[in-house]
Chains A and B, each alone.
Chain A
Amino acid sequence: MSRDNILHRIRTALGRSAGQGVADPPPARIRIPDVDMEQRISTMFAAIEALAGKTHRAAAPADACGYVAAAIEGKSAVASNAPFLAECGISSLGGVRSGITDREELRGLCAAADVGITSADYALADTGSLVMIAGPHEARLVSLLPPAHIAVVPRDRILTGLDELLTVLPNPADVTSSMVLITGPSRTADIEQILVRGVHGPGQITVVVVG
């Protein structure tokens, strides 16, 4: 069987034996800068805008709801089951489908919708990334199939960056089968190095920070 052959070859080549332990790997290099929340938000917005994403700061949940309502006017939208979207009143906006738990139904809706609306479990200030953890509240396809993605995030979920995320969540596999960082709209430069947005994922991304 190839498994045993391959492991045997490796051990022979490295001078190791089956079941032998290892010394600790070099300590992980984690550096978390001290950045206050206002600075985090402005850094994050600058990073997102540099990637041609849109940003909006909403003072309160109701303001976020009004902003989203205007953005999706005349369009079809699917919202994830994130409690924060319900709290903002976004899940119950006219034209928004929400609360779907059936895979096939969700896939069909996402494939047809103009806009996917989600929250995010975290956001990363330095790179302008959204952290999407798949679970009962967030499905994978809502932020992926529609041509536009709007994420509504409470400000206290904004971390300084990847290092802080991996400190808060040292092993993402403990909580989900899928954690995705989204940094700007989908893009390609595969033909003549010319940048084109929205090749497979959403070509437009809007991040609304609440608070």
Chain B
Amino acid sequence: MSVEFDRKIHNTLADANLQLAIYAATGRLKDKRSETVTPDALPEYQELRTQANAIKKHTIENLDYYLEEFERNVEAHGGKVVYAKDGTEVADFVRALAKDRGARLIVKSKSMTTEEVDLNERLEHQGLEAVETDLGEYIVQLAHERPYHIVAPALHMTRYEVADLFTKRLNVPRETVIEKQTAIARAVLRQKFLAADIGISGANFLVAGSGAVVLIENEGNIRLTTSAPKIHIAIAGIEKMIPRAQDLATFLKLLGRSGTGQLLTVYTSFLSGPRRAGETDGPDEFYVVLLDNGRTRLLPDRGKRQSLYCIRCGACLNACPVYRKIGGHSFPWVYSGPIGAIITPQFMGVSHEPALPFASSLCGACAEVCPVKIDIPKVLLDLRSDVKKAEMREKRNRLEKLAFRAFAWLMTHPRLYEMAGRLAASAAPPDSSGWIRSVPAPMNIGPLRAWLSQRDLPPAPARSFREMWRRR
């Protein structure tokens, strides 16, 4: 376990207020979810999960086909699709477009995908202002922190901390009433929406058959981000694809309930291209950036590929006894909880934080609540095995390095080298055939034994080269 992982966990466990905040918030979300998926409330719940899993499996197994179909349909409606292999390519695209259009101010709606590539920081380095507009995400941005939870980014902060933050960063009188804090943020952000040149959103789903981006939210900031500025850029992982609009009948029912216990979130936007003739408002330009950033690395493994089915509802975080103790910021990357524990090692490599797949009791609560039936404990076990294999490789490499260092030392000490040569020659005499077939026990170690098992050595000459040279 890395020192940092260990330290963050212990800091979280030692903070009584934070413990209470995490426990209360995840508990409430967990209860709200449970109420909306009971057999009385939603008799077809299990059927929907099975359907969602089947659709995702089919789509991921044929991902290239659906990406191309999506691309064709976006273009047919006057939009443009851009592929990006990593965060640098995303930022380069946005910067070039902003430069060309003379854009300075960008409003952003919450997107884990853009968190993943540190888009805000990258854009700020390039002199662009990128403002988060989801209330929780805005708070987290002002505090220069990462979101604490996939659906509740500022879960770890109290109203008093928000009050201090607003006073310090927004120059407003200290305000501790949550309604009034919300009104402050509304007023500040409303001006940003109306002045922004570009709106950047994520995507909950990409509909291949429609060339559409589907976004869900409760606040209205996504609608503003995608409607008010003249340019809309949606940034989405390639795995967000579903084949048809009709599949939303399955996914939307699961997503709202699993995330926050809502039948549908307040707003569901189905966006396909820039505004059309006759439409009074909406963006003039529409781009979808399809991000890889490690996702294609997951595809070859049939077992672990299911990690890409995730629809980012956050239900597994709320159900997880580990997340509920160690919280979101203990996790080594932007994705936390059980889903973070399976995708972080796969996106970033298992050595990023080898202890991560082990930070689970394998209780299975995550798999039980997953709306797309990802077998998270099974993937965790596979990853544990990967970590162990990587460690063994590492250990073998270490031995090898040690052996070479010893050899180098011997080679730079001529007296010792000569003595070792003489010792070796007398310790390993040839047998009756005149060849050295084996060496005595202390020298007969793994690699040498293996090497000799296929080869014979000629006997050492009576006098070494060095002796002959001296007597010349």
* Distance A149 CA – B4 CA, assembled complex (angstroms): 49
In the bound complex, residues from chain B placing their C-beta under 8 Å from that of A7 are: 64, 67-68, 83
Contact pick for B210, options A101, A107, A171, A187, CB 8 Å? A171
Q: Does B200 contact A (CB under 8 A)?
A: no
Closest-by-CB residue of A relative to B300 is A13
**B266–A22 contact, CB under 8 A?**
no
Asked if B266 and A184 sit within 8 Å, CB to CB, the answer is yes
Question: Closest residue of chain A to B218, judged by CB?
Answer: A187
Interface class of chain A by DSSP: loop
Instruction: Enumerate chain A residues within 8 angstroms of B429, measured Cβ to Cβ.
Output: none
The CA-CA distance from A165 to B226 in the complex, in Å, is 23
Asked if A201 contacts B266 (CB within 8 A), the reply is yes
Residues of chain B within 8 A of A134, CB atoms compared: 275, 279, 281-282
Cross-interface CB contact of A177 among B61, B66, B271, cutoff 8 Å: B271
Who on chain A is nearest to B29 by CB?
Answer: A193
What's the Cα separation between A173 and B290 when bound, in Å? Answer: 19
Contact of A10 among B67, B223, B278 (CB under 8 A): B67
Question: Chain A's nearest CB lies how many Å from the CB of B278?
Answer: 4
- Residues on B with C-beta less than 8 A from A188 are 135-136, 182, 218-219
Chain B 243-275, CB within 8 Å of chain A: the 1/0 string? 111111110110000000011111111111111
B89 touches A2 (CB 8 A): yes
Q: Which residues from chain B contact A187 at a C-beta distance below 8 Å?
A: 218-219, 266
B47 CB–A CB distance under 8 Å = yes
For B, the interface residue count at a CB cutoff of 8 angstroms equals 100
Scan A118-133; emit 1 where CB is below 8 A from any B CB, else 0. 0000000011010000
* Complex contacts, A184 vs chain B, CB 8 Å: 266
Interface residues of B in 171-209 (CB under 8 A from A): 178-179, 181-182, 185-186, 189-190, 193-194, 207, 209
Q: Does B276 lie at the interface of the complex (its beta carbon under 8 Å from any beta carbon of A)? A: yes
Task: Find A190's partner among B135, B250, B271, B296 (CB 8 Å cutoff).
Answer: B135
> CB-defined interface of B122-154 with A at 8 Å, one 1/0 digit per residue?
000000000001111001000000000000111
- B182→A181 contact, CB < 8 A: no
User: In the complex, what residues of A have CB within 8 A of residue B25's CB?
Assistant: 193
Q: How does the 8 Å CB contact mask read for A26-41 relative to B, with 1 for contact and 0 for none?
A: 1011110000000000
Kindly report which residue of chain B lies nearest to residue A30, judged by CB atoms. Answer: B249
User: Are A200 and B133 neighbours in the complex by a CB distance under 8 Å?
Assistant: yes
Say yes or no: is B120 at the interface (Cβ < 8 Å to chain A). no
State which size class the interface on A falls in.
Answer: 35 or more
Is B84 on the interface with A (CB-CB < 8 A)?
yes
CB of A181 within 8 A of CB of B139, answer no
Residues of B within 8 A of A177 (CB): 77, 271-276, 279, 282, 286
B279 partner, pick from A14, A136, A171, A200, beta carbons under 8 A: A136
Q: What chain A residues lie within 8 Å of B252 (beta carbons)?
A: 162
**A54 CB, min distance to chain B CBs, angstroms:** 15
**Chain B residues within 8 Å of A202, by CB:** 220
Give the residue among B64, B159, B181, B299 with the most A Cβ atoms within 10 A. B64
Contact in complex: A191, B159 (CB < 8 Å): yes
Q: Are B219 and A200 in contact (CB under 8 A)?
A: yes
Cα–Cα, bound, A189→B292 (Å): 32
Query: Nearest-CB distance from A86 to chain B (Å)?
Result: 16
Between A and B, 16 residue pairs with Cβ closer than 8 Å are A6-B238, A14-B63, A20-B65, A26-B55, A28-B247, A30-B249, A134-B279, A134-B282, A140-B227, A140-B281, A144-B223, A173-B77, A178-B226, A180-B267, A187-B218, A187-B266
Question: Given A191-B181, A193-B28, A193-B155, list of 18 further CB < 8 A pairs?
Answer: A2-B292, A6-B85, A29-B47, A127-B263, A135-B276, A135-B278, A136-B280, A172-B270, A176-B272, A179-B269, A183-B263, A187-B219, A188-B136, A188-B218, A191-B182, A196-B179, A200-B186, A201-B220
**A interface, CB within 8 angstroms of B:** 1-3, 5-7, 9-14, 16, 18, 20-23, 25-26, 28-31, 47, 51, 81, 100-103, 106-107, 111, 126-127, 129, 134-136, 139-141, 144, 162-163, 166-167, 170-173, 176-194, 196, 198-202
The 5 lowest CB-CB distance pairs between A and B, nearest first, are A201-B220, A190-B136, A13-B299, A28-B246, A173-B272
